[in-house]
Structure 1
């Protein structure tokens, strides 16, 4: 396959189809100068609009690219010293059928119009503003030439819409202080506009962008006529106030669990425009609580779980700080490390009550970021988190112990465009420095540093690309900390059969590297392909302020994809992808080979179907025995199918089935996911998404022990069942006043049987990999909840195994009223509820939910948060 893809690549480079030339459209705006600005009422009656011409001639983009749209659209643009104004006329032959669906901000429901502004002129990033006919605002920041969207960017801007006999109209006013641009006397911005015609799910655009184009922003038209713009000295100050009441079941005798806690808090966020390109964001005593709870999850493999960042301070300009260097979520900067849960835990005597902090307080943070007219993307982030103590009470004697040290986090990032914006080179530096004043925290790194260099080059009008990056890390600390790092699941230097790594208990530092090299075809015609290789050396360590799941790996990828460019038959579009990858460790062991074939189809009735098949003929794991020898998984086949009905309908459904099967029934995984969404009126949406998964494994890792000075790696037959359901309700009173509810009950139960010890971990047949304990060798002690193993059957227990059965139950919910009483200033009323418990594993799933959720008192949080944004 690798030779075939190489041949295809060479053939395309030599004889491949060339990109069709698409003429760039230009709109010339004018300054209002002494004229009164238009009143933003959606009516388009102001004489100030008469100084410029309409532009239109939109062309269909989806589903049938480069054909006339059902209805035409036109717009005008004017500006003054402080604002840029947009007027839209969206024609509609039947205005009564225009769909006015309300939603919360960034909802993208019903008919809408969108404007994109590449005010940097870098052909990679853009500001986006969308206006629905119902008056709902949606905004975001586009990066990576359209491949990345940051929806948590919420600038101040103004919108009004109106329906009349010709269709509908919209007027938009955007403060220039919310945009970033240079100080040239005569400026040229990238410009694009998109219209959604809801009834047929059609998208039409002002500047034609073929479906086989190399990206989005790079293909924009141009906005001319911007003369003598004065960069705005943006200064925004946003104080906030929170009032928080927490109620929970009172715990008799525990002075820290009295039944309720009350807390008042306040802080300040500020945004200062150093130049119109570069912004300084400051926050003092920030409130970084999340309105949306993280989804419940349980991991049996020991690896950390990646959660998305939702805090606005870290989300804004996230693209500048991002440094994803390999595959998956591996990144030099993972902002959720800042303000994480404390990592230490006090050693306590029986009868000691502990008050443990929920998270680490952020004393302050500053972020300097932006993009200059010369093509420099710059980002500097500095944050300090406070010391955190666990409070203890032992028979009335109070004490405290440090569980998180005072820590400083630093991230510096830079990229420079060149070659007419077709190439860039960049770098990143990260640093984590801790004040380890307590020996109890010697397991933490004292200092951790990361660095990287990345490069991208496009040629032949961005048809082909070459990308590469390189990263390096250096951590240092006590011998205890570095030994713990060598032994954690990311590294596992203690693996008994590894000849290239071993634990050195005297080391006080580790230095590692990683990176990626990729080349491919990104545009023109139906076909795309790329090949890449990435690596993470055994000593690479990023988890102080980055995210690294596993080190000691080299992967090779080959990808071939196909997309249709025109509707045909019953299909609007079909995208297909064939992928192959292989994996090795740094000792040269051939650990993985995987082939996958996936296809997604959008039908003319606006249903969507996705299918995926993955075949794993080779699959070894260096980590499953957590320090034990390399372990072989059986040959396996995974397949899935997912279906979504028309998202425009008042009643819509989705369903998916995922199934994986190991050879000889060594393991299996089956998951059923479904959902229903109902929108009885334009202002109300209700959805329910239940999920059920069954996981079975004949060789599930349990623990390790020793017998006669020999290591024993214990596995068992696992039968795991997981059930959850997410419930959402969105009610929009008006575009600025919304009520949202989210709830998720979750339960995962696992029962273990047929315990065994690993004897031949790389045997082809799973039954040859272990020796099953018979009834004479293993017995269960219910009083101690442990299994005793008499391996040599001499009447004396040789070792014991704690009962690994589990039944984890969790319920999380949020009810939020959000009111944007003036643009940029908000009031939140929040009621959060949570329950976490452990049910009896011998009970079925529904009984576990009943006993742990319905049968227990929850923890409640009632929160009032108010912000006010001063624009100076």
Structure 2
């Protein structure tokens, strides 16, 4: 194992030296295709010079461009096509003007169109980016890594995003206050914009230069054109901007916004006879406050007191049989905004298959569902809280003019108790302790943004735990370093991270962690790990190192290695699926740079992965090839194939020995028709099959999106999957001191359907509906125990119980292994039918910029069905039967004071 690690590091270091020998150039040279011949073109930075005006001279924001003050500056224009045919003349031209005064930046756009009646004016919610639009990106620090993006559609819908990591992150949760209007005339369409300078971050230099870029979407041709040319094979985005000059004596504006809100919530649900806590309804009124305070022009303090996230869409339904937790994306606005500053992914890679969702900080741990639950006796009822309130949170974040990205988050969540009723006598039991969460993140840019180094520290501290919660950690700490260095005009990069974790708790808590599915120290045959029941702490490490090339030509690649030590534990405030993992990955890609008569763009990729554990066992080898195609008619297709000749799992037997998994062939394939059409379709399916037929899986999703009018959009996407596996884990049992690794053959079918309906009355008033019925049935047969987990043939790994050895009575299986007529062990029937229906209806009105009214109606029905019933029949009988869903009606009003 030691030699293997040295070999991997040696190969990466050699590749790094070879890449560095290629030299560095101060002027970017792009190799492109034109009429079948290669040529080299120097990209010249464009400049636009603005001028200042007096506040009383400011143009009226009406979209007409008739104010005489606009004549004080020239037009900027000469846009050049970016997609699909880079460095050619666009189908239509665009031009702009920029002015400023002491408080605002003003922009005017003229978007030419010879057929103005064909301008697409689709309505959507903010950040919808539907139809024709124009956009401006402003790098007000000129740091070549971050920017503020403002978009406006021909229908007047605003879009705004904070751009970071040189264009690799676009945060649409950033919602500044700004103003815009559009008009359509005989020449095309126009837009006027006023951006308060308090919404931007910039230095206090007397004479400033900002990075500037503008993008135009010409909807009919699905064409993008840019003011500043950017070669299609040049990596990065912000680093390639042109320049805005003429900014004199600007004074940074410290932001101050306060947003109080109040929420009225009413719930109704099916009453539980005899349960004093489930009488069928409840009503509550809450209030809270959000504030955004500009400590400096660079750094902002966000505060929230008693936050409410009632308007957030419910998570989609999901069920996992592998025992691992499911990752759900963060949707709460307080945590989504600027989340890129706080995150440190454990092992990001272009190659994938490296647990890309694992992160040192996962904000959904804050305010999670209570982790404890009371043990109830006969006749007892419990009122268990559904969530953990956040008493208050503060977030200090931003980026300074000298390249420091700063993030500090502090949050306190409440102690939650369950009330237990025993024939009128009530007691309380803590189910979630008072908990403090802290996250600190720093990152520093060097070398004009081509290099950065960062660090992170997290702390989770819980109050003194009662006996009922002794399984939780009393404290958990984690931290890390990350870096990235780019050279040769960012074509090449070397990056990586090093992370650590340290958890503290009772012997019971640390034992539970050691034996959890993330670690499984108790597994048989793993000599490099062992359970220590007396431990009260656990420390681990992880990291990632990668080398890649992503620019200058058709070919790209990335190769690297990542590891998670057996003791690494991030799940108190981070997200981590499993530990004890070392893997190598390589990705090689070829992409076309110019369109032809058939394709706008095509990419072909190759990947491979190899996975070891810290015991030196090679657990997985997998090869992949895939391709995507963007056709000339703007359809998209993709196809991919995997082959895994070697597969072993340390986790399949949940603490049992390492298990051989049969070699696998798998595929995926998808098709999307032109999304610009009123009616568009998509189809995606994937499947996997063991070469010895010991398992197979197939999933298909096909749906459509229909936009009959500019204001109305409907989408329906049903999904069906089937899973047939002869070795699905059931339980680990002990019979006369000997283990039984009980498995069965499962036949599982799952159906779900996502339904969305969006009606946009105007850009500030929308009605949105989302609903998802979900059902998953699983039937188990052919129960067996694993006897030789490493046997090459599947039949030799197991002993299957015959008809005379196993019987079912009253939902309990009894097994007579020795044929003496007595049951040697028993287990419950694992068949299941999980049925759920979730929906949200949201009416949102932004009655003035930054101030909103929400009316939300949500439904949640979760129940168990009959696993022997047909899938759609079970869905119908449970969702449309007698069961009463939980209904929540919520009214939330906010008012944003901006100073």
TM-score by length of 1: 0.98
Question: Which stretch has the larger CA shift, 208-217 or 26-35?
Answer: 26-35
Is 2:618 the counterpart of 1:590? Answer: yes
Matching residue of 2:729: 701
Is 2:645 the counterpart of 1:617? Answer: yes
Matching residue of 1:41: 62
5 Å-filtered alignment, 1:62-141, equals 62-141=83-162
Residues in 2 aligned to 1:692 and 1:508: alpha-carbon distance in whole angstroms: 46
1:81-120 deviations in Å (ceiling 9; x for gaps): 1111110000011111111111111111110001111123
Matching residue of 1:835: 861
Quote the RMSD (CA, aligned, Å): 1.6
Is 2:783 the counterpart of 1:755? Answer: yes
Matching residue of 2:179: 158
Matching residue of 2:551: 523
Residues in 2 aligned to 1:135 and 1:112: alpha-carbon distance in whole angstroms: 9
Residues in 1 aligned to 2:144 and 2:258: alpha-carbon distance in whole angstroms: 31
Cα displacement (A) at 1:610:
0.9
Cα displacement (A) at 1:558:
1.1
Is 2:893 the counterpart of 1:845? Answer: no
5 Å-filtered alignment, 1:356-505, equals 356-505=384-533
Cα displacement (A) at 1:858:
1.3
Residues in 2 aligned to 1:597 and 1:176: alpha-carbon distance in whole angstroms: 49
Question: Which stretch has the larger CA shift, 46-55 or 585-594?
Answer: 46-55
Residues in 2 aligned to 1:637 and 1:360: alpha-carbon distance in whole angstroms: 44
C-alpha contact 1:291 1:816 (8 A) present in aligned 2: no
Matching residue of 2:249: 228
Matching residue of 1:284: 305
Is 2:28 the counterpart of 1:28? Answer: no
Residues in 1 aligned to 2:141 and 2:532: alpha-carbon distance in whole angstroms: 51
C-alpha contact 2:549 2:557 (8 A) present in aligned 1: yes
5 Å-filtered alignment, 1:795-806, equals 795-806=821-832
Residues in 1 aligned to 2:14 and 2:505: alpha-carbon distance in whole angstroms: 50
Residues in 1 aligned to 2:760 and 2:325: alpha-carbon distance in whole angstroms: 37
Cα displacement (A) at 1:33:
3.0
Residue aligned with 2:437, SS: strand
Residues in 1 aligned to 2:29 and 2:621: alpha-carbon distance in whole angstroms: 35
Which runs of 5 or more residues in structure 1 are unaligned?
Answer: none
Cα displacement (A) at 1:6:
9.5
1:512-542 deviations in Å (ceiling 9; x for gaps): 0000111111211011111101100000000
1:693-748 deviations in Å (ceiling 9; x for gaps): 00110111110101121111011111000000010000011111010000000000
Cα displacement (A) at 1:5:
10
Residues in 1 aligned to 2:570 and 2:629: alpha-carbon distance in whole angstroms: 38
5 Å-filtered alignment, 1:512-661, equals 512-661=540-689
Residue aligned with 2:29, SS: coil
Matching residue of 1:261: 282
Question: Which stretch has the larger CA shift, 220-229 or 28-37?
Answer: 28-37
Residues in 1 aligned to 2:129 and 2:476: alpha-carbon distance in whole angstroms: 42
Choose from 712, 721, 726 the match for 1:684.
712
1:566-625 deviations in Å (ceiling 9; x for gaps): 002310001221111100000000001111111111011010001111111111110110
C-alpha contact 1:636 1:663 (8 A) present in aligned 2: yes
Cα displacement (A) at 1:7:
9.2
C-alpha contact 1:290 1:310 (8 A) present in aligned 2: no
Residue aligned with 2:796, SS: helix
Residues in 1 aligned to 2:82 and 2:529: alpha-carbon distance in whole angstroms: 54
Matching residue of 2:690: 662
Cα displacement (A) at 1:627:
0.3
Matching residue of 2:350: none
Residues in 2 aligned to 1:715 and 1:34: alpha-carbon distance in whole angstroms: 76
Residues in 1 aligned to 2:596 and 2:788: alpha-carbon distance in whole angstroms: 54
Residues in 2 aligned to 1:420 and 1:826: alpha-carbon distance in whole angstroms: 40
Matching residue of 1:766: 794
C-alpha contact 2:298 2:398 (8 A) present in aligned 1: yes
Residues in 2 aligned to 1:187 and 1:352: alpha-carbon distance in whole angstroms: 70
5 Å-filtered alignment, 1:700-779, equals 700-779=728-807
Q: Give the direction of change, closer, same or farther, for the CA distance of 1:483–1:12 in structure 2 (3 Å limit).
A: closer
1:50-91 deviations in Å (ceiling 9; x for gaps): 211110000000000000000000001111111111100000
Residues in 1 aligned to 2:605 and 2:670: alpha-carbon distance in whole angstroms: 16
Residues in 2 aligned to 1:366 and 1:849: alpha-carbon distance in whole angstroms: 44
C-alpha contact 2:640 2:669 (8 A) present in aligned 1: yes
Question: Which stretch has the larger CA shift, 674-683 or 334-343?
Answer: 674-683
Residue aligned with 1:665, SS: coil
Cα displacement (A) at 1:437:
3.7
Cα displacement (A) at 1:289:
2.9
Residues in 2 aligned to 1:50 and 1:35: alpha-carbon distance in whole angstroms: 16
Cα displacement (A) at 1:452:
0.3
Matching residue of 1:170: 191
Residues in 2 aligned to 1:598 and 1:120: alpha-carbon distance in whole angstroms: 40
Which runs of 5 or more residues in structure 2 are unaligned?
Answer: 1-6, 31-41, 348-353
Residues in 1 aligned to 2:125 and 2:538: alpha-carbon distance in whole angstroms: 48
Cα displacement (A) at 1:121:
2.1
Matching residue of 2:29: 19
Residues in 2 aligned to 1:381 and 1:402: alpha-carbon distance in whole angstroms: 26
Is 2:234 the counterpart of 1:213? Answer: yes
Is 2:291 the counterpart of 1:270? Answer: yes
Cα displacement (A) at 1:510:
0.2
Residue aligned with 1:420, SS: helix
C-alpha contact 2:311 2:856 (8 A) present in aligned 1: no
Residues in 1 aligned to 2:840 and 2:580: alpha-carbon distance in whole angstroms: 41
1:23-70 deviations in Å (ceiling 9; x for gaps): 111111111136511110000011221211110000000000000000
C-alpha contact 1:289 1:311 (8 A) present in aligned 2: no
Residue aligned with 2:448, SS: coil
Matching residue of 2:886: 859
Is 2:325 the counterpart of 1:315? Answer: no
Residues in 2 aligned to 1:470 and 1:290: alpha-carbon distance in whole angstroms: 37
Cα displacement (A) at 1:755:
0.1
Alignment: residue pair count: 870
C-alpha contact 2:568 2:579 (8 A) present in aligned 1: yes
Matching residue of 1:247: 268
C-alpha contact 1:5 1:558 (8 A) present in aligned 2: no
Cα displacement (A) at 1:290:
4.5
TM-score by length of 2: 0.95
Residues in 2 aligned to 1:19 and 1:806: alpha-carbon distance in whole angstroms: 61
C-alpha contact 2:19 2:492 (8 A) present in aligned 1: no
Q: Give the direction of change, closer, same or farther, for the CA distance of 1:5–1:388 in structure 2 (3 Å limit).
A: closer
C-alpha contact 1:9 1:529 (8 A) present in aligned 2: no
Choose from 341, 346, 362 the match for 2:369.
341
Residues in 1 aligned to 2:293 and 2:145: alpha-carbon distance in whole angstroms: 24
Residues in 1 aligned to 2:69 and 2:580: alpha-carbon distance in whole angstroms: 64
Q: Give the direction of change, closer, same or farther, for the CA distance of 1:539–1:342 in structure 2 (3 Å limit).
A: same
